[in-house]
Amino acid sequence: MTAPPPPPSSALLTDLYQLTMLQTYVERGMEEPAVFEFFVRKLPAHRGFLLAAGLEQALEYLETLRFSDRELEWLAAHGKMPASFVEYLARLRFGGDVQAMPEGTLFFPNEPVLRLIAPLPQAQLVETRLINLLHFQTMVASKAARLVLLAKGAPLIDFGLRRAHGAEAGLLAARASYLAGFAGTATVVAGVQFGIPLYGTMAHSFVQAHTDEADAFERFARSHPDNVVLLLDTYDTEAAAAKVVALASRLKGRGIAIGGVRLDSGDLAAHARQVRRILDDGGLSQVKIIASGNIDEAALRRLVEAEAPIDTFAVGTHVTTSSDAPYMDCAYKLQEYAGRPCRKRSEGKATWPGRKQVYRTHGPDGRMAGDVITLESDRQEGAALLQPVMQAGKRLAAPRPLADVRAAIAGELSRLPEPLRTLQDGAPYPVRISQALLDLAGSVDRSR
Amino acid sequence: MTAPPPPPSSALLTDLYQLTMLQTYVERGMEEPAVFEFFVRKLPAHRGFLLAAGLEQALEYLETLRFSDRELEWLAAHGKMPASFVEYLARLRFGGDVQAMPEGTLFFPNEPVLRLIAPLPQAQLVETRLINLLHFQTMVASKAARLVLLAKGAPLIDFGLRRAHGAEAGLLAARASYLAGFAGTATVVAGVQFGIPLYGTMAHSFVQAHTDEADAFERFARSHPDNVVLLLDTYDTEAAAAKVVALASRLKGRGIAIGGVRLDSGDLAAHARQVRRILDDGGLSQVKIIASGNIDEAALRRLVEAEAPIDTFAVGTHVTTSSDAPYMDCAYKLQEYAGRPCRKRSEGKATWPGRKQVYRTHGPDGRMAGDVITLESDRQEGAALLQPVMQAGKRLAAPRPLADVRAAIAGELSRLPEPLRTLQDGAPYPVRISQALLDLAGSVDRSR
């Protein structure tokens, strides 16, 4: 069966000023091609790279953009807009071209991740939702990639829906973290919508609802014989582990094997060692240990470096909210209008004008060696990162299967320079501004 | 007209383990009443209070909870669940009772904000989405209230949709910040959905799309004569202010007045002073100055203390993402099942058992003096904060108008003890655990 529709991307998921500006553009016939680019101005503190994500949802938004009858009614009644402009909005569709870095491309500050060319009103209207979609998934994928690199191959699972910022954040965080290399998610809608593998264990309330912890474990095991994962820390973690050993022999006669146990509080490394020993001594060396509870990069690094016997890590809040960097300094800026390059010069927020491209070179070891940001017209050495993805409002290719994006990302991460791959603070990845772009910026400044 | 429907709250916006546990509960006939409470374990760093928000969306979710045909089909095909359980889910509705603090109530760690009593499967299933809804709006309202207190009466506007974590976060952040005292939002869907006043100015791209900044200003003014707010910092803020003065006299003949100017970069206090002087010298003392750009509590405090001549503050990312505290350590925990009080004892995460109530007393000056957390059955001095809001799955009252909640919050904030009202780090607000509750916790611990 096909999946239910995604959360609606209303055309009114925008800032009021977009509509205000559009009205003037339309009145004045300012409908020449505008070139906007989405980029991140600077990296969050202690971050070395970003991972592009969210393009798929951005293209879907562009392709389906239209004002519904109810929205048009609302604008006519409350929008203080002339009827002719509301009629214009009723006909508005996105018919522009988009070039973008494929999802999963590693990128750096000031590099355009997406370039959109469309008549000015169309290109302007979509600013808010495009940023909203690209910013969030890029942020979460970038955070998740850090955890994946630190986990050194141990599976990671997203447990973050409850503390995600609303429903869409939970759904798209599951997607972004899966792309970055997570094994799956607990969020059921993400399984439905994107086919992401679902994982789950049990809650403390399950244990508490029984008068006896061992009874709770046994009931769960008999009810879910193929997925017996028992939560140990409701009362006393090691005592619970001993109950698991006793239960295992009772279940053996029924042909049920215990798959795993979960630890969710206290010193996870210490508990994991004690529980591992109890399980191993009880002949349960095949039972996996899953750890959860406030795991971020620092906690994960400590657990991995301490060689804590943990098989799988469940990460919730920290990945879903990108807790250390819950936003990025990103922008979607006009770089050219009607063939004239534009440059914003606001203090600390100046932009590079014109239609740009990013070229990346790799060293003899296959690792990324450096990028150059230049004009589209200025061919440089290396691979061009921005590729055509939409023409005249239509996608140029079907959405890539998530498995393909995941594989591409795993490859990308393996090509990161070593200090970035090990998440050391240090010298930034080299990104150069080309002479052609410097020349254009100078000439735009002089022309004002 | 009525507003379009809110973003869907799918019954599958939940963690897989809820469905797994439900299956066992149903198989074993564990459908006795369960009492769950939602609370925050501890305050984020440097925070003194929290403001309850999101109850309205939580009740709407409970009242409309059901699995759609498509969702049931998906579960039957992919959920590895027996057909009888899928049929149970098809019939499932929420029929429980809810007590809660009204939206806008100030609260503190360990105080139950919402208590839900329902047959165990119903009470368990809703955990994930209830936390998702209550956590986010409470977090944003609490952040917004801090900014409102610091602004000392100056209007604040939410500009945060683009960096909100998805669509629902943008919509609900507009609601939560409006409840906390913001004057309005730029997010159009929030105007449509909740009737929140909408505000907007112009973007840098509007200025850049014109070859001449003064032309851009004039076109905007003639196109929007009732709402002329001009953005000054695209190239040179003070030079732009001088153009505004020149434009004002040209517009006078047409009966158009300039309403305001916006500053978005650089030293906002310094620019505001220079621009104010230019405007005043040009006879434009009635023109308001709006400031935006990376405004958080620290920046707002500096601007207000420096008496920068700024009339209105637009706050984006920092309020929408609650940037200093993008999550809270909150939980929804089983406190009683089938009449038996429950207590989780996990390290650092122990809970208080039983059905609880919070009483608040006020001093002679009307300020909040202290709270006591006790059992529902143990009447204490002061006002009871948890009130019945839903019975047998039906709301007991129509949703409160947002204006009423806003007024109630303004009153609440005025009753905060002074150190909390001025956002000083210091002694926490006094919250006491009653003897009755201590006794119950002890007896639950001994009974295991």
**ipTM of this predicted complex?**
0.96
How long, in residues, is chain A?
A: 448
Residue B179 has pLDDT above 90, yes or no: yes
Q: Tell me the per-residue pLDDT of A337-368, one tens digit each, with 9 for 90 and over.
A: 999 999 888 888 888 999 999 999 999 999 99
| Cβ atoms < 10 Å from Cβ of A59 | 23
Q: Does residue A227 share a domain with residue A158?
A: yes
Q: Does residue B429 share a domain with residue B400?
A: yes
Q: Tell me the per-residue pLDDT of A138-178, one tens digit each, with 9 for 90 and over.
A: 999 999 999 999 999 999 999 999 999 999 999 999 999 99
Give the mean pLDDT of B97-118.
98
Closest CA–CA distance from residue B435 to any residue of chain A (Å): 23
Q: Which two tokens stand for residue A260?
A: 């795993």
Contact A132 B166 (CB under 8 A): yes
**Residue B161 DSSP label:** G
Q: Does residue B347 share a domain with residue B258?
A: no
Q: Residue A9 domain-assigned? A: no
Angstrom distance (rounded) from CA B3 to CA B326 = 29
- Option in A169, A265, A337 nearest B208 (CB): A337
Residue A4 has pLDDT above 70, yes or no: no
Best interface-test mutation with B: which of A16, A70, A117, A212 has the largest number of B CBs within 10 A?
A16
Q: Tell me the per-residue pLDDT of A372-424, one tens digit each, with 9 for 90 and over.
A: 999 999 999 999 999 999 999 999 999 999 999 999 999 999 999 999 998 98
The number of C-alpha atoms within 13 Å of B112 and in the hemisphere containing its C-beta is 30
Q: Residue A10 domain-assigned? A: no
B178 touches B402 (CB < 8 A): yes
Q: Residue A8 domain-assigned? A: no
What's the CATH number where B95 sits?
A: 3.20.140.10
Tally A–B CB contacts below 8 A. Answer: 337
Q: Does residue B118 share a domain with residue B194?
A: no
Q: Does residue A200 share a domain with residue A99?
A: no
Within an 8 Å CB–CB cutoff, is residue B250 touching chain A?
no
State the pLDDT at residue B80.
85
User: Which residues touch B317 (CB under 8 Å, ≥6 apart)?
Assistant: A327, B160, B163, B294, B323
State the pLDDT at residue A350.
83
CA distances from A55 to A102, A447, B21 (A): 7, 35, 36
DSSP, collapsed to helix, strand or coil, labels residue B80 as coil
Domain residue limits at B96? 16-141+328-446
Pairwise pLDDT comparison (A328 vs B8), residue with the higher score: A328
Q: Does residue A411 share a domain with residue A315?
A: no
Residue-by-residue DSSP string for A178-220: HHTT--EESBHHHHHHH-PPB-----HHHHHHSSSHHHHHHHH
Give the mean pLDDT of B382-401.
97
Average pLDDT value for chain B? 95
Q: Does residue A396 share a domain with residue A305?
A: no
State the pLDDT at residue B4.
36
Residue B6 has pLDDT above 70, yes or no: no
Q: Locate tokens 């970038």: which residue? A: A142
- Option in A128, A162, A347 nearest B265 (CB): A347
Q: Residue A78 domain-assigned? A: yes
Q: Tell me the per-residue pLDDT of A255-271, one tens digit each, with 9 for 90 and over.
A: 999 999 999 999 999 99
Angstrom distance (rounded) from CA A202 to CA B130 = 18
B213 touches A448 (CB < 8 A): no
Burial of B352 (0-12, 13-18, 19+ CB in 10 A): buried
Number of domains in chain B: 2
A160 touches A321 (CB < 8 A): yes
State the pLDDT at residue A8.
57
* Residue where a domain terminates, one of A320, A342, A364: A320
User: Which residues touch B356 (CB under 8 Å, ≥6 apart)?
Assistant: B37, B112, B115, B335, B373, B374, B375, B376, B386, B437
Q: Which two tokens stand for residue B101?
A: 């603090």
Q: Which two tokens stand for residue B37?
A: 């409470």
Give the chain A residue nearest B81 (alpha carbons).
A224
Q: Tell me the per-residue pLDDT of B206-230, one tens digit each, with 9 for 90 and over.
A: 999 999 999 999 999 999 999 999 9
What's the CATH number where B294 sits?
A: 3.20.20.70
Q: Does residue A198 share a domain with residue A302?
A: yes
3-state secondary structure A11-51: CCCCEHHHHHHHHHHHHCCCCCEEEEEEEEEECCCCCCCEE
Angstrom distance (rounded) from CA A215 to CA A240 = 11
Show residues of chain B in contact with A71, CB under 8 Å: 4, 192
Q: Does residue B333 share a domain with residue B308?
A: no
Angstrom distance (rounded) from CA A104 to CA A409 = 5
Q: Tell me the per-residue pLDDT of A6-59, one tens digit each, with 9 for 90 and over.
A: 345 789 999 999 999 999 999 999 999 999 999 999 999 999 999 999 999 999
Q: Residue B6 domain-assigned? A: no
Residue B114 has pLDDT above 80, yes or no: yes
State the pLDDT at residue A56.
97
Show residues of chain A in contact with B176, CB under 8 Å: none
Q: Residue B2 domain-assigned? A: no
| Band of pLDDT at residue B8, cut at 50, 70 and 90 | low
Show residues of chain A in contact with B31, CB under 8 Å: none
Q: Does residue A178 share a domain with residue A313?
A: yes
Identity of the residue numbered A11 = A
Phi first, then psi, for residue A390 (nearest 5°) are: -145, 140
* Residue where a domain terminates, one of B320, B339, B357: B320
Q: Tell me the per-residue pLDDT of A226-242, one tens digit each, with 9 for 90 and over.
A: 999 999 999 999 999 99
Q: Residue B167 domain-assigned? A: yes
Q: Tell me the per-residue pLDDT of A69-128, one tens digit each, with 9 for 90 and over.
A: 999 999 999 888 999 999 999 999 999 999 999 999 999 999 999 999 999 999 999 999
Q: Does residue B174 share a domain with residue B310?
A: yes
How long, in residues, is chain B?
A: 448
Beta bridge partners of B395: B390
Q: Residue A3 domain-assigned? A: no
User: Which residues touch B141 (CB under 8 Å, ≥6 apart)?
Assistant: B51, B52, B53, B104, B176, B177, B179, B180, B409
* Residue where a domain terminates, one of A320, A336, A362: A320
Q: Does residue A49 share a domain with residue A25?
A: yes
Give the mean pLDDT of A312-336.
97
